[in-house]
């Protein structure tokens, strides 16, 4: 299934009057992300998205082509936010252990604050990644994520702190898995075990546990100290 492309050589007269096209796209994507995260691709409605923005269905179709085009752009935007956050982490002057700690903490906190991202990734997995396959942007974005963790890991190996032979893609997988599960399964774990896994103290403990597990995993010998 391919994403429909809008023919912008014949612009909508109403769309041409919008003074801030980039702001328009951001507003539509913000609302659409919530709608897709709540109802999935099949359950989301363009009517509902239009009703919650300042713009008409016609405007949405002008910018994004169709519902699938809007869904793909919302998915790309969700990944872009987390990758841009990683890129802005000030870790170049930190030790490898401190840098990895900050990266894991950022990922944990970002996922906690952006449940829509987690839900959209879960929805895309239900679709077996078929929409991600259409996106060169997401592939490029995630290359930077691997480069980021690879540099941290390589410095740790060079310093004799991290054990050699680990795959940076698998390291990224492990960090994502630990932080992702904290959001994706929070409701069920809280219900089953009668504990609020979203409570601030519980979240802080889980975050520190996640950091410790990753540091022990990469450690050469005993877990390294910061």
DSSP-assigned states of every residue in 38-84:
HHHHHH--HHHHHHHSSS-HHHHHHHHSSHHHHHHHHHHHHHHHHHH
Domain total of the chain: 1
What is the H or E stretch that residue 108 is in?
A: helix 96-113
Please report whether residue 2 resides in a domain: no
Residue 87 sits in a domain whose CATH number is 1.10.357.10
Tens-level pLDDT at each residue, the chain (226 residues)? 444 444 443 344 444 455 688 888 999 999 999 999 999 999 999 999 999 988 889 999 999 999 999 999 999 999 999 999 998 898 888 999 999 999 999 999 999 999 999 999 999 999 999 998 988 888 888 888 899 999 999 999 999 999 999 999 999 999 999 999 999 999 999 999 999 999 999 999 999 999 999 999 999 976 556 5
Q: Which two tokens stand for residue 104?
A: 């894991």
Please report whether residue 117 resides in a domain: yes
Please report whether residue 88 resides in a domain: yes
Please report whether residue 8 resides in a domain: no
Name residue 219's beta-bridge partners.
162
Spatial CA neighbour of 32 closest among 73, 81, 84? 73
Measured CA to CA, the distance from residue 181 to residue 203 in angstroms comes to 12
| pTM (2 d.p.) | 0.84
Domain, as residue range, for 180: 13-218
What is the H or E stretch that residue 20 is in?
A: none
Q: Which two tokens stand for residue 225?
A: 């100290």
Please report whether residue 6 resides in a domain: no
Please report whether residue 7 resides in a domain: no
């Amino acid at each position: 299934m391919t994403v429909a492309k809008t023919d912008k050589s014949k612009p909508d007269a109403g769309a041409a009057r919008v003074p801030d096209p980039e702001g328009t796209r951001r507003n539509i994507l913000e609302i659409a992300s919530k709608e897709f995260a709540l109802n999935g691709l099949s359950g989301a409605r363009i009517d509902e998205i239009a009703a919650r923005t300042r713009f008409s269905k016609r405007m949405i179709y002008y910018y994004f082509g169709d519902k699938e085009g809007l869904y793909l752009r919302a998915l790309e935007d969700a990944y872009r936010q987390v990758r841009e956050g990683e890129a802005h982490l000030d870790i170049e002057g930190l030790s490898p252990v401190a840098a990895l700690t900050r990266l894991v903490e950022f990922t944990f906190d970002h996922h906690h604050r952006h449940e829509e991202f987690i839900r959209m990734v879960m929805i895309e997995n239900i679709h077996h990644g078929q929409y991600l396959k259409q996106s060169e942007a997401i592939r490029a974005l995630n290359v930077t994520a691997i480069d980021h963790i690879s540099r941290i890991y390589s410095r740790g190996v060079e310093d004799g702190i991290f054990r050699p032979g680990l795959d940076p893609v698998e390291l990224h997988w492990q960090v994502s898995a630990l932080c992702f599960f904290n959001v994706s399964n929070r409701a069920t774990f809280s219900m089953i075990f009668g504990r609020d896994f979203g409570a601030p103290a519980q979240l802080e403990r889980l975050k520190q546990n996640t950091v410790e597990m990753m540091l022990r995993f990469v450690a050469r010998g005993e877990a390294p100290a910061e």
